[in-house]
Amino acid sequence: MPVHSQTPSPSHPLFPPLPCSSPRENPLISSLANPPVTLFVQTTITTTTTARCVWIRAVPHSLHISPILYHTSTHSLHAIMLSGALSTVALLAAVLPTALAQTSTLCNPLEERGCPNMPALGANLTFNFTERYNDKVWTKPSAGVIEANEKSEGSYFSLRLRGESPTLHSNFYMFFGRLEVVMRAAAGKGIISTAILQSEDLDEIDWEFMGGNSTHAFTNYYGKGNSDMPTPNRGIEPKMDSSPLDGFHNYTIDWTEERIEWILDDKVVRTLKYEEAKGSDGKSYYPQTPMNVRIGLWAAGDVENNKPGVVEWAGGETDFKQAPFSMIVKSVYAADYTNAKEYSWDDMDDTGDHQKVKIIGKDTNQRSQVFVEATKPTGVDRIKAMSTTTKIAIGASVAGVVLIGAALIAFCCVKQRRAGRKEYATFQAQENQEKAEYAMHKQNWQSRASRYARV
C-alpha cells in the first residue's frame, strides 16, 4: 500500500480556527476535490448551551495520512451555515461526501462529557442476512440500497449512484469480543468493501477489500482516530488463496485486552499484541474501548469527491457507468466478551483507557433493549419458541375453528338439500298437473273429432 504525504493542506479562508480545543487539525475544506464553498456564508452564533463538538474524519480509514477532521461547536463558535437554517449535523451531512463519513462519531468522550451510554450485546448472536435486517438492531446511516435477494445468497449492499455508501451500523456494542462476517466483496475499480469494529472515541479494527484487487485483503487498526500513529506496520495485506471478489469467505476479528487476531477462513493471518501498538511517543494506540459493528462499501475512486491520493490508493477512478457495485453479506456473528447491559463513558478521561469504561449490569440477567429486539423470534422460530401450553391453546383454537367451519358447511349442505327436495316436489306437482291438463285436453279434442265425424 502506498504511503502518502503526512503534510496537511492549508486551511481554506472560509474555515477559520474554531474555539473547541483539540490536539487534532483544524478544518480543511481542501480535502474535498471540489469543495462546495460557494454555497455557504460565514457567520457567528453565540449561545448559552453547553459546548458540543462533532468530529468526522474525512479520509478513508486505511490511509497512512493525517486525519482531516471537520469541527463544529454550538458554544460561542464560528459556524458554516446554509441560509442560516441548517443544524450542525445537517450541515456536516451537506458538506461531506457520503463516502467520507463512514468513520465518524457524534460524541467523542475524549473531547466532551455527557456522551450517551452504549447498549451492550452482552452475549453472542448470529444475524442471518439472507433475510432483511432488523432496523431496531441495525442502523443504515447513508444512501444506497441494502436488500436480501430472492436466491437467499445474502443481503446485497448495492452502490448505484455517485455519493452513495450503503452501510449498516449495529446498535449494540462489544467490549472486547469476536466478529465474524461471511461476505463477498464488491468488484469494481475504486470500490472499497469494509467489515470493521469502531468505537465512539475512534478506536478501530478493520478488514478492507479493494474492488480491483483479487489477490489480497487489507487489515488495519487505529487508536483514537489517529492516522499518524508512530507505530510500524499498522496496515498489513494478507494474501488470499482465492479472490475475495468471486466467492464467500469468513473474515474474523478476535479482540481481547492482550491481542487482536485477524482470521481468514479459520486461519490466523495476523496477530497484534497490546505492547506492539505502543508508539515511539510512549502512548498506547491499542484499540480498547467498546465498539459497534460497521459493514458496507464506498467509492474511494470517486474523483469528484476524493483527492487524487485517495483515488490512487483505491486503485483508480471509479466508472459509475458500470454500477451497481454490490457487496453480499450472508451472515454476521458477534460475541461480546463482557456480560453487561450497557457501557458508560461517565468515568472516562482523555487517556481513552479501557479501565475507565464503566460497565452497567455486569454478570446479571439485565439485558439491553437492543439485545431483546435481536433475540425476538420470527417466523417458524417464533412458533418453536412458544411454550407447550401456548402451542396447545393455539392448536385447540385452530381445531375449534375447523370444527365450527365443518358444522357450518354441513348445516348449509342439509339446508340446501332440503330446499332442493322442496323445489323438486313443487316441480313434480306442477309437471303432473300439466300432464293431467294435457290428457284432459286431448280427451276433449278426441270427443269433438268423433262428433264431427258422425255429422
How many residues does this entry show for the chain?
455
- Closest by CA to 116, choosing from 347, 350, 344, 338, is 344
Q: What pLDDT score does 91 carry?
A: 37
User: Which grid coordinates are listed for 92?
Assistant: 456536516
Query: How many Cβ atoms sit within 10 Å of the Cβ of residue 346?
Result: 13
Q: CA end-to-end span of the chain, whole Å?
A: 133
Q: What pLDDT score does 402 carry?
A: 63
pLDDT digits (tens, 9 = 90+) for 29-53: 333 344 333 233 333 332 333 333 3
Which residue among the candidates 208, 275, 276, 317 is catalytic per the annotation? 208
Report CA 144 to chain centroid distance, whole Å.
Answer: 11
pLDDT digits (tens, 9 = 90+) for 290-340: 999 999 999 999 999 999 999 999 999 999 999 999 999 999 999 999 999
Give a yes or no: residue 335 inside a domain.
yes
Tell me the CATH number at 236.
2.60.120.200
Question: 78 falls in which pLDDT band (50, 70, 90)?
Answer: very low
Contact 18, 77 (CB under 8 A): yes
- List % helix, strand, coil for the chain (3-state, nearest 5): 25, 30, 45
pLDDT digits (tens, 9 = 90+) for 152-165: 899 999 999 999 99
The phi and psi torsions of 281 (rounded to 5 degrees) equal -85, 0
Give a yes or no: residue 191 inside a domain.
yes
The answer on pLDDT for 83 being more than 80 is: no
Give a yes or no: residue 56 inside a domain.
no
pLDDT digits (tens, 9 = 90+) for 129-154: 999 999 999 999 999 999 998 788 99
Which residue among the candidates 204, 276, 312, 434 is catalytic per the annotation? 204
pTM over 0.95: no
- Asked if residue 27 has a cis previous peptide bond (ω within 30° of 0), the answer is no
Q: What pLDDT score does 446 carry?
A: 62
The answer on pLDDT for 1 being more than 50 is: no
Bridge pairing between strands 167-170 and 138-139: antiparallel
Q: What sign for the dihedral angle of Cα 267, 167, 56, 340?
A: negative
Q: Which residues contact 427 (CB under 8 A, 6 or more apart)?
A: none
Q: What sign for the dihedral angle of Cα 241, 242, 247, 253?
A: positive
The answer on pLDDT for 99 being more than 70 is: no
Asked about 208 being catalytic, the answer comes back as yes
| C-alpha distances in Å from residue 20, one per residue of 10, 74, 78 | 19, 10, 10
Give a yes or no: residue 271 inside a domain.
yes
Give a yes or no: residue 249 inside a domain.
yes
The answer on pLDDT for 225 being more than 50 is: yes
Mean predicted confidence (pLDDT) in 209-218: 98
Distance (Å, whole) CA 260 – CA 271: 6
Count of domains for the chain: 1
Q: What pLDDT score does 421 carry?
A: 75
Give a yes or no: residue 345 inside a domain.
yes
CA angle 54, 55, 57 (to 5 degrees): 155
Domain that holds residue 202: 116-367
Q: Which of the pair, 280 or 181, is modelled with greater confidence?
A: 181
The b-or-e profile of 352-365 (16+ CB within 10 A means b, else e) is bebebbebbbbeee
Give a yes or no: residue 252 inside a domain.
yes
Q: Which of the pair, 150 or 179, is modelled with greater confidence?
A: 179
Asked about 373 being catalytic, the answer comes back as no
Distance (Å, whole) CA 175 – CA 122: 9
Distance (Å, whole) CA 220 – CA 237: 9
Give a yes or no: residue 362 inside a domain.
yes
- Closest by CA to 210, choosing from 308, 142, 311, 138, is 311
Q: What is the layout of strands, in order, in the sheet containing 358-360?
A: 118-119, 342-344, 358-360
Report CA 193 to chain centroid distance, whole Å.
Answer: 14
> What's the one-letter identity of residue 347?
D
Q: What pLDDT score does 417 carry?
A: 72
Q: Which residues contact 407 (CB under 8 A, 6 or more apart)?
A: none
Mean predicted confidence (pLDDT) in 200-227: 95
Distance (Å, whole) CA 40 – CA 53: 20
The answer on pLDDT for 369 being more than 50 is: yes
Of these ranges, 87-91, 139-143, 412-416, the one predicted with the greatest mean pLDDT is: 139-143
Q: What pLDDT score does 442 carry?
A: 62
Q: Which residues contact 144 (CB under 8 A, 6 or more apart)?
A: 157, 158, 159, 160, 164, 165, 166, 167, 296
